[in-house]
Amino acid sequence: MNIEFKTIGFIKTDAPTVPRHWTISEVGGEIIIDEEYMKGLKDIQKGQDIIVIFYFHRSPEFAVSHLIQTPPHRNERLGVFSTCSPMRPNPIGMSVLRVVNREENILHVTGLDMVDRTPVLDIKPLTGLKRDRAL
């Protein structure tokens, strides 16, 4: 089965590098939402944590050799589904970002672990979960 997604926007950041995971990131940037979806941002508030689903657009094509990986910050081989590696059967990522401000279709955020121009697939509220940035 093939599944198609539409992007709803993209990430904009001037950071030359970003941390490997949102839990250790203080990198700021913007989520630029396509204007056709702007009304969907109506209830996003400053200070809110949001879940951002995105596409690893720079990830190499997945091969079965990527089913077991050694993350750079770990000294053990792990199954891909126990990692946050961008090399996955479906190159979809998830991060929790803090909304610093909102202007029209632009969300100013911190906690980025995505590079500039990363396609955004969806945004969801973080509700009922405790945010823990410690590893």
Per-residue pLDDT tens over the stretch 99-135: 999 999 999 999 999 999 999 999 999 986 665 555 4
The encoded tokens of residue 106 equal 């632009």
CATH no. for residue 112? 2.40.30.70
pLDDT for residue 135 = 43
Residue at 79 is within a domain: no
pLDDT for residue 131 = 54
Q: How many domains does the structure of the chain reveal?
A: 1
* Mean pLDDT of the 17-38 span: 91
- pTM: predicted TM-score of the whole model, two decimal places: 0.85
The encoded tokens of residue 64 equal 């079965």
Q: Could you tell me which of 53, 31, 47, 22 has the C-alpha nearest to residue 132?
A: 22
Q: Rounded to the nearest 5 degrees, what angle is found at the Cα of 96, between the Cα atoms of 13 and 7?
A: 60
Residue at 3 is within a domain: no
Average predicted confidence (pLDDT) for the chain: 89
* 131 vs 13, more confident: 13
| CA gap 130, 50 in Å, rounded | 12
pLDDT for residue 118 = 96
